[in-house]
Structure 1
């Protein structure tokens, strides 16, 4: 059991290991390798301990799947880290639906530590797919769900619309200016697609004047029963305060109908 530092229990440290999703990411550590095998998990985990200057990690997230690796090996190695006191909880992020089912089933078969904490996936008015495909499975497995990108990197604020250009920092400007064509395609899908533009325009125009569209968007995400929490980032205090209102916002019939008119465009049968 590693030595615990004074007051360490008062904070929660969460970090991730990148899987090899379509060669999308080449990490500056691990010699650019993103396999989720025993060797790479050990290296990534203990390197993180050193960089974070801590004795243990509270939440360790498998970020992107690696279909070439065995869930038996992955879960076995993570369980060993938990047994040895280096890790408390496991999470997964950006796994496809069938792989989430497989992971949960394998985890339930081998679970010795009751250590699975959450699934982290993108979920918003523009990406509502998990509402249909995962909610029942999450409830059955008593599995928490953290929604990330609930306002789609600022797209749902309306600040990317041509008639509402803003000087505030914009996440997708990074993708737009990238030399990597894959990054540019992300920008085009999120910001320039006709479907997204029309949906955001309707949301901005129809949101009541007492409310900001991104606050409504976040409130809708949080009102879904299967959503445990939402992961957000802000670039100003004002934006934080606006989003904080979502916690107490009651969605009446008209607001729910407005949200449904947006997200229903993105649900496939």
Structure 2
């Protein structure tokens, strides 16, 4: 694992070059295993945790907020809150659906309690709420920043026209502005970010922290024709197995991984990390053995030829 990572910037936040996703905490990783993964991530030089108030409400018996609670309990037990950058998202918790002003205020307060902290370093609107004017969303976020509950604001899962309107409102009114966007983006899902969203991010100085960077595990290389993988994500990953694009991408990843003497997952994340506007990729690990290839992205640089081959294979 890698210590003394070179940090990257999101607004005024210094973050490690791999964000650890918390979607598995309280879902496929129980409390004990989650603590183990978090300990190993920090031991490897990681500082940037990503979660959401929704995680993991989809699991039978859960109500949402399980991931935040685990992270909050872990930071309290390790007394390392000030060493970390914690990002969470709001708008999808079963008790706080949507982005109206009262809903966002309540959602942030509940996230703070579960995370056992006095501030959220980076707060995303998880999914847009078209029923709420962007003026109300941005004004409420600005109030939460002014109150010290949030340090920086960000956005995920938003249509370009709403993103543009939000950015223009912030610039016109002088409110807090988005510093980051979290798009669905990977070697097998490029048009979910490239195009209007990325153009807006570049124009307005937003950086990207992509999710599904490993395509639900497909880009780790373990999902191949004829392979059987015991995972709750198998359906999402295996849909790429029999596509021409999926086959081309895996072939290119295999070749570059062999040249670099790296894991396939490391190469997939390295490609993502080098893309225009991307600050740091995001990936989750439910077991300790899944973590080293993710952290290894911090010391992996693709040659121009390798990057081009991967980009062409994924076209």
TM tier, smaller: 0.7 to 0.9
1:146, distance to aligned residue in structure 2 (A): 1.0
Q: Structure 2: how far apart are the matches of 1:148 and 1:232?
A: 7
Pick aligned residue for 2:107 from 44, 49, 53: 44
2:198 corresponds to 1:198: no
Tell me which residue corresponds to 1:218.
Answer: 269
2:91 paired with 1:18 = yes
Counterpart of 1:116?
Answer: 178
2:233 is aligned, of 147, 154, 172, to 172
**Do the aligned residues in 2 keep the contact of 1:203 with 1:213 (CA within 8 Å)?**
no
Query: Which residue does 1:65 correspond to in 2?
Result: 128
- Determine which structure has more spread, i.e. the larger CA radius of gyration: 1
Alignment check: 8 A CA contact 2:160 2:197 kept: yes
Matched, 1:128 2:201: no
Structure 1 residues 76 and 205, CA gap change in structure 2 (3 angstroms)? closer
CA distance in 1, matches of 2:103, 2:266: 40
**TM-score normalised by length of structure 1:** 0.75
Gaps of 5+ in 2: 1-75
Structure 1 8/220 Cα, relative in aligned 2: closer, same or farther at 3 Å?
Answer: closer
TM-score, structure 2 as length reference: 0.65
Q: Is the 8 A contact 2:153 2:180 kept in 1?
A: yes
2:290 pairs with one of 209, 216, 239: 239
C-alpha RMSD over aligned residues: 2.8
Shift of 1:119: 0.6
Q: Indicate whether 1:76 and 2:139 are aligned.
A: yes
Shift of 1:254: 3.9
Q: Distance in 2 between matches of 1:11 and 1:243?
A: 18
Corresponding residue number in structure 1 for 2:278: 227
1:88-103 counterparts in 2 under 5 A? 88-103=151-166
What is the distance in 2 between the residues matched to 1:8 and 1:255? 38
Distance 1:224 1:192, change over 3 A: closer
- CA gap of 1:56–1:248, structure 2 versus 1, over 3 A, is closer
Q: How does 1:137-156 map to 2 (within 5 A)?
A: 137-156=200-219
Q: In 2 relative to 1, CA 197–9 (structure 1 residues): closer, same or farther, beyond 3 Å? A: closer
Distance 2:149 2:113 in 1: 12
Contact 1:190 1:196 (C-alpha < 8 Å) held by counterparts: no
Residue 229 of structure 1: SS of its match in structure 2?
A: coil
CA deviation after TM superposition for structure 1 residue 7, in Å: 7.4
Unaligned runs of 5+ in 1: 20-26, 177-186, 265-269
